[in-house]
Amino acid sequence: MAHTTEQSDQPACCEPFDAEWAHLETLALHAGTGPDPATGALLTPIYQTTTFVQEAVGVHKGFTYSRAGNPTVAALERRLAALEGGAFATCYATGLAATTALCLALLAAGDRVVVSQAVYGGTVRLLQQVLGRFGVEAVFIDTADQGLLAAELQRAPVRLVFIETPANPTLRLTDIAATAQLAHRAGAWLVVDNTLLTPALQRPLELGADVVLHSTTKFIEGHNATVGGALITTQRELHERFEFTRTATGTIQAPFTAWLTLQGVKTLPMRMARHSENALRVARFLADHPRVVRLLYPWLDSFPQHELARRQQRAGGALIAFEVEGGVEAGTRLMNAVRLCALAENLGAAETIITHPASMTHWSVPPAQRAAAGITDGLVRLSVGLEDPEDIIADLDQALGK
């Protein structure tokens, strides 16, 4: 009998993973995969194929065509679902492809979406400049303000609440559990972009979220080698919508990308711990530097939402946001003077990356909206990598002296 590739299926390439070994570090290495039954290969094979031969009309082994599903991609999906504490996952060609599939699966013309004011620039561009033309209304508010959020949810029907916490790039936090209660009371789904912390540091589904979104390009894969995205949920009905939309739009992740991501995710818990340790040391250095006039890092006592960070996160994460004395010109000199840190449009890699959000990742966000979200023209975003923290500090110190 024909069947679709659901998260609960166990294709021939994998054996069910023993739930007894449920610690995060073990899940990151083993969940969703097993030795290849044909060869005994420890690593999941790259099933680089377009199609799959069927035993008879309507009878197959769970896969028919790689646009709809692929064994290598399915192995990654099982692992990501296990790490997030979900039941189902779908993987996509990019993080924005995942966001697009989410919106196409859950929204229709006339629907309203409430979105965190500070959020990835590509999300803003998609909602305003693409989906806005099809009648979707996106309302950007400070979702950290629960009173403001409650009022917006009561003002008119809302289909979806989309939050990113910590927010990119201001690191402003939204209380996930409280937001889930407000969203569900209003009849809306809650989606949490967990790209910046990953399940190693934050598990939104356990706090009431309906869907977790990832740009797997970032910390999940972690090595600047791929682009990809994922949606994870505990709800079969939502998962089936995501699967249908992915097949209909042709946005599935490539097998080789999924294979590379499977290798990267094995070290996710250790990497996130080291990212966080390094970032805290760098943040303390910047906090004491006379040329730094504004510093945001959730694990510092000075962070305005430090108590919330301690409550819903396991550590501070890799990202630091700061401004230097002298504004835009001084920040530009800093970013042009670094030698170890890479000036690039990415975050979440093994290498330390420094970014100017206003001209790079968030250039397409209208200036007034950037300002309202706290994304000033002089803001510097630092994604602290896995180098020795003393080397990162030395590079920033010499650049700040320029």
Distance CA 124, CA 117 (A): 9
With 0-12 CB in 10 A as exposed, 13-18 as middle and 19+ as buried, what is 188?
A: buried
Beta carbons of 324 and 359 less than 8 angstroms apart: no
Q: What does R_g of the chain's alpha carbons equal in angstroms?
A: 21
| 14 in Cβ contact with 47 (< 8 Å) | no
Count how many residues are written for the chain.
402
Q: Please tell me which residue in 175, 193, 210, 395 is annotated as part of the active site.
A: 193
CA 264/CA 259 separation, integer angstroms: 9
- Active-site residue 193, yes or no? yes
Catalytic residue list contains 370? no
Nearest to 163 by CA among 173, 151, 150: 173
In the residue annotation, 65 being an active-site residue is answered as no
Catalytic, out of 47, 78, 79, 120: 120
Query: Can you tell me the distance from the alpha carbon of 42 to that of 292, in angstroms, rounded to the nearest whole number?
Result: 49
Which residue among the candidates 67, 125, 266, 294 is catalytic per the annotation? 67
CA distances from 148 to 116, 190, 351 (A): 12, 16, 38
Active-site pick, 78, 218, 274, 381: 218
Put residue 68 in one of left, alpha, beta given phi > 0 → left and psi -120 to 50 → alpha. Answer: alpha
Instruction: Specify whether 92 is catalytic.
Output: no
Return the active site residues: 67, 120, 193, 218
